[in-house]
């Protein structure tokens, strides 16, 4: 139960509330998490800006990419240092990978070493998180944006100190959809490429379907509406029907019919399977590169 894990006295701290953090917060709130059991941590107030003082209320303190006014009422702290004294039960870190180095020292100093941090940063390994945040229970997680409606999927893996927290992380992240515990951290880059980025591939499929419909003579608005409803409906059917994707595809495909003619193109040797393999390969490689690019500098030999 979420209420056993997070209370107003031992709140959930969400550090970074942009597109992914905002989606997660929306999912938790939809599941009944009380606003007062959350602290959203935004960037530190810039010099000269009105002092944020203690916890204020959300609004345009949240990034333009976040859920903005929809989250009004959630206590907001400006800067990770403001978490000192807030006694979070756990922290979810959802800033950009490149922003970790800047906030790491403030966050580490503000938190008791026993407080676990769940990071959703693409590419940043557990070792990099430990270097930035100190030795503590750490969980590296990769959610996706359907979390906003409780329909996401999150992969996760923990360091040794974080392993006892995996069940509680499953409770927290399970509210946002399904959860997969990976057998090894090495799998996280591929999980990121497939499922973290995956919604974007599907949304692009909608764009491509609509454009193809326009090319075949449909008015743009009609093509967009048809493409959107088709992908949403196919996703809902996939969810509601136990058959696997291949069986559902075959159920659409009449021998000698229109679908077969289309699939003959899509499934040709250099078709979608090849393109998707290249797509996920590129995203996996980028996840690995992000890990290298954001690694703390090694001390020089001299
Ligand atoms: N967007 C997505 O679909 C997914 C993103 N992720 C990961 O989530 C993380 C965030 O990505 P997005 O939400 O897309 O980026 P974003 O740019 O929308 O959100 C980042 C947020 O962090 C805030 N921030 C920056 N510095 C801060 C600081 N020092 N203290 C507190 N807040 C600070 C920014 O103001 C912004 O609101 C990334 O590490 C990304 O790899 C993971 C899965 C999916
Ligand atoms: O594009 C990105 O790097 C992030 C990670 C997965 C989805 N969005």
> Is 15 labelled a binding residue?
no
Q: How far is the CA of 250 from the centre of ligand 1 (A)?
A: 40
Task: Tell whether 293 is covered by a domain.
Answer: no
pLDDT of 297 reads: 73
> What is the residue-wise DSSP string for 87-113?
--SEEEE-S-GGGHHHHHHHHHHHS-T
Q: pLDDT tens digit string along 104-139? A: 999 999 999 999 999 999 999 999 999 999 999 999
Last-in-domain residue among 131, 148, 183: 183
pLDDT of 53 reads: 47
CATH of the domain at 273: 1.10.3730.10
Q: How far is the CA of 53 from the centre of ligand 2 (A)?
A: 32
Q: pLDDT tens digit string along 31-72? A: 999 999 999 999 988 765 544 445 665 544 454 344 445 567
The residue segments making up the domain with residue 149 are 2-183
Q: How confident is the model at residue 271 (pLDDT cuts 50, 70, 90)?
A: very high
Site to substitute for ligand 1 among 94, 153, 189, most atoms within 8 A of C-beta? 94
Q: Which atom number of ligand 1 is nearest to the Cα of residue 123?
A: 41
CATH of the domain at 86: 3.40.50.720
Q: pLDDT tens digit string along 63-85? A: 434 444 556 789 999 999 999 99
> Is 64 labelled a binding residue?
no
- Calculate the average pLDDT of the chain: 92
Q: How far is the CA of 196 from the centre of ligand 2 (A)?
A: 6
Does the CA dihedral 256-260-261-267 come out positive or negative?
negative
Task: Tell whether 292 is covered by a domain.
Answer: no
Q: How far is the CA of 155 from the centre of ligand 1 (A)?
A: 17
Last-in-domain residue among 153, 183, 213: 183
Ligand nearest to the CA of 95: 1
Q: Running DSSP on this structure, what letter comes out for residue 8?
A: S
> Is 97 labelled a binding residue?
yes
pLDDT of 244 reads: 97
- Enter the tokens of residue 224: 């967009």
Last-in-domain residue among 120, 149, 183: 183
Task: Tell whether 257 is covered by a domain.
Answer: yes
Q: pLDDT tens digit string along 9-29? A: 999 999 999 999 999 999 999
> Is 13 labelled a binding residue?
no
Residues with Cβ within 8 Å of residue 102, at least 6 apart in sequence: none
143 and 60 in one domain?
yes
Task: Name 118's bridge partners.
Answer: 92, 139
> What is the residue-wise DSSP string for 16-66?
--SHHHHHHHHHHHHTT--GGGEEEEEPPPPTTSPP--S-EE-STTS-TTS
Q: pLDDT tens digit string along 150-192? A: 999 999 999 999 999 999 999 999 999 999 999 999 999 999 9
Number of domains observed in the structure of the chain: 2
Whether pTM > 0.90 for this model: the answer is yes
Task: Tell whether 249 is covered by a domain.
Answer: yes
37 and 174 in one domain?
yes
Ligand nearest to the CA of 145: 1
pLDDT of 3 reads: 85
Q: What residue ranges line ligand 2, CB within 6 angstroms? A: 122, 192, 196-197
Locate the DSSP E strands across the chain: 12-15, 38-42, 56-57, 75-78, 90-93, 117-119, 138-142, 152-158, 177-181
Nearest CA to 96 out of 132, 131, 124 is that of: 124
Task: Report how far residue 176's alpha carbon sits from residue 20's, in angstroms, rounded to the nearest whole number.
Answer: 12
Contact 25, 67 (CB under 8 A): yes
pLDDT of 247 reads: 98
Q: How far is the CA of 16 from the centre of ligand 1 (A)?
A: 6
């Amino acid at each position: 139960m979420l209420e056993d894990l997070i209370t107003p006295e031992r709140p959930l701290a969400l550090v970074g509330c942009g597109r992914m953090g905002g989606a997660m917060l929306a999912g938790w709130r939809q599941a009944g998490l009380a606003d007062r059991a959350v602290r959203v941590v935004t960037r530190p107030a810039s010099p000269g800006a009105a002092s944020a003082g203690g916890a204020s209320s959300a609004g345009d303190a949240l990034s333009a990419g976040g859920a903005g006014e929809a989250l009004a009422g959630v206590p907001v702290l400006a800067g990770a240092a403001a978490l000192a004294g807030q006694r979070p039960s756990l922290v979810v870190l959802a800033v950009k990978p490149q922003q970790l180095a800047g906030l790491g020292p403030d966050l580490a100093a503000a938190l008791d070493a026993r407080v676990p941090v769940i990071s959703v940063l693409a590419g940043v390994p557990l070792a990099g998180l430990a270097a930035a945040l100190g030795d503590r229970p750490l969980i590296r997680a990769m959610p996706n944006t359907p979390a906003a409606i409780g329909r996401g999927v999150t992969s996760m893996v923990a360091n040794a100190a974080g392993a006892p927290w995996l069940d509680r992380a499953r409770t927290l992240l399970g509210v946002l959809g399904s959860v997969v515990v990976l057998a090894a951290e090495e799998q996280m880059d591929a999980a990121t490429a497939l499922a973290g980025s995956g919604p974007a591939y599907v949304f692009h499929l909608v764009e491509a379907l609509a454009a193809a419909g326009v090319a075949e003579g449909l008015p743009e608005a009609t093509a967009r509406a048809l493409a959107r409803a088709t992908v949403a409906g196919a996703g809902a059917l996939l969810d509601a029907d136990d058959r696997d994707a291949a069986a559902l595809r075959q159920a659409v495909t009449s021998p000698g019919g229109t679908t077969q003619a289309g699939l003959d193109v899509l499934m040709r040797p250099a078709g979608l399977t090849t393109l998707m393999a290249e797509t996920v390969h590129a995203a996996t490689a980028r996840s690995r590169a992000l890990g290298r690019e954001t690694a703390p500098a090694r001390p020089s030999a001299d």
